[in-house]
Homo-oligomer: A and B are copies of this chain.
């Protein structure tokens, strides 16, 4: 309350001057734009015309705004116009000793929008491999139609046409689902988050892989759930022996796995393990949340089946999206939630009512118009090649003591650095060299992956060899400390 009284002592017009100057400095009103009129500001702020005029006069005197006859007040261009700073790169480097995992993860993701960085950080697909032009043209054609009903917004389960296409796609993962079994979501993360809410109550224990995709850890934390990290093998994924032991000794409420081309491990759970996993959980009536976002990105042979394909009890909630092969920015995914479908719909409604309509229509139309299988074949070949290229470069340029996974799908590499190398220090040094990477810390709620990093191979090409060389020299320097 003391603060409030101090504020009261500042004259009203000066308060307004400060507020407007802040708004202009921070870009709410930009150079050349008109600011609200004296009359309007007087109404909004409940100040007299005289007070507002006084404030505007001061701002004019300071060169912040200018009056134009008959038009009102406009923001003036700054006297010395420098070049715009690049917002993210100018941030101070991360301090390895004081870091919040959530903030670190968000920074890795946010930096993925910085075109001036080598994008080995977030697991984003190569834009060159996305059918953006064709997809956007389909969206444009749809948007020019006059008969798209606005009212379809209120359908939490999503567009039927897209659910039909998606049910057909799931056939390739060995899942016999119908369009009515599906709920469209705003991406795979939303599918996972809805699934966790559908099967867990706050305080519940969820068994996950260790390491695992950092957004899963964040989702658990935000929902008030406890994570039980189960050991994994870098080739075969979650250890079923360890899981069975955990189930015998802990009140596990749900299990969340990424059986196909795990992020960050790249592991592929063998078919027999998937069957065993599903049967083990069915016997205990424990739901399984399956993230299959990388399932279509196998490098050779045929599409590995989803764990969902062995689901006879409706206990598997299968989550995926079109973000890795069609468009990350359209934000369209889905969940086949089995017996939890009704709950998922209610939670979807209370989360954001439904997913934006036109992006759903465009993706449905894109798939229906053919060429999707061809696209997938092209993507698979490209990522197989990029992954091989990146592995080779890491082997060439990183110091002895480095280990690297050898995934048969997806597009991320999991790299174990010499034991004394701290991935956060490396991250911090790499940022200065404009290279983004994902430090091991964010893949576990413990610091056990402090000397691991995840590299996104999707952006690997001839030109980024240099970046791997640079990373290698940084690792070497840290290893010698």
- Chain A residues near B (Cβ < 8 Å): 1, 3-4, 7, 19, 22-23, 26-30, 36, 40, 43-46, 102-103, 105-106, 109-110, 112-113, 115, 119, 122, 124, 127, 130, 132-133, 136-137, 139-141, 143-144, 146, 148-156, 164, 167-168, 171-174, 176-180, 185-187, 189-190, 193, 197, 201-203, 215, 218-219, 221-222, 224, 271, 279, 283, 302-303, 305, 312, 323, 327-332, 342, 345-347, 349-359
Contacts and interface: CB of A to CB of B under 8 A. Distances in A.
A279 B5 CA distance: 13
Contacts of A133: 146
A323 B153 contact: yes
Contacts of A271: 46
Chief secondary structure at chain A's binding surface = helix
A354 to B, nearest CB: 7
A331 B153 CA distance: 8
A412 to B, nearest CB: 15
A210 to B, nearest CB: 18
A359 B201 CA distance: 34
B124 A154 contact: yes
A346 B139 contact: no
A268 B351 CA distance: 26
B115 A178 contact: no
Contacts of A110: 154-156
A377 to B, nearest CB: 14
Contacts of A19: 176
A328 B143 CA distance: 15
10 contacts: A36-B172, A103-B342, A106-B345, A136-B358, A140-B141, A151-B328, A153-B323, A190-B352, A329-B357, A352-B352
A156 B109 contact: yes
A167 to B, nearest CB: 4
A472 B342 CA distance: 33
Nearest to A174: B44
A305 B172 CA distance: 55
Most buried by B among A46, A103, A113, A221: A113
A178 B350 contact: no
A319 to B, nearest CB: 12
Contacts of A7: 312
Given A193-B350, A222-B347, A353-B109, A23 B186 contact: no
Given A29-B168, A347-B222, A352 B155 contact: no
A342 B157 CA distance: 30
Given A44-B174, A110-B154, A331 B346 contact: no
Contacts of A179: 26-28
A322 to B, nearest CB: 12
A246 B273 CA distance: 54
Contact of A356 (B167, B168, B356): B356
Contact of A139 (B327, B347, B358): B358
A227 B327 CA distance: 39
A93 to B, nearest CB: 19
A352 B154 contact: no
A150 B178 contact: no
A190 to B, nearest CB: 4
A375 to B, nearest CB: 15
Nearest to A141: B140
Contacts of A357: 329-331
A443 to B, nearest CB: 15
Given A150-B132, A155-B110, A352 B224 contact: no
A2 to B, nearest CB: 12
Nearest to A165: B28
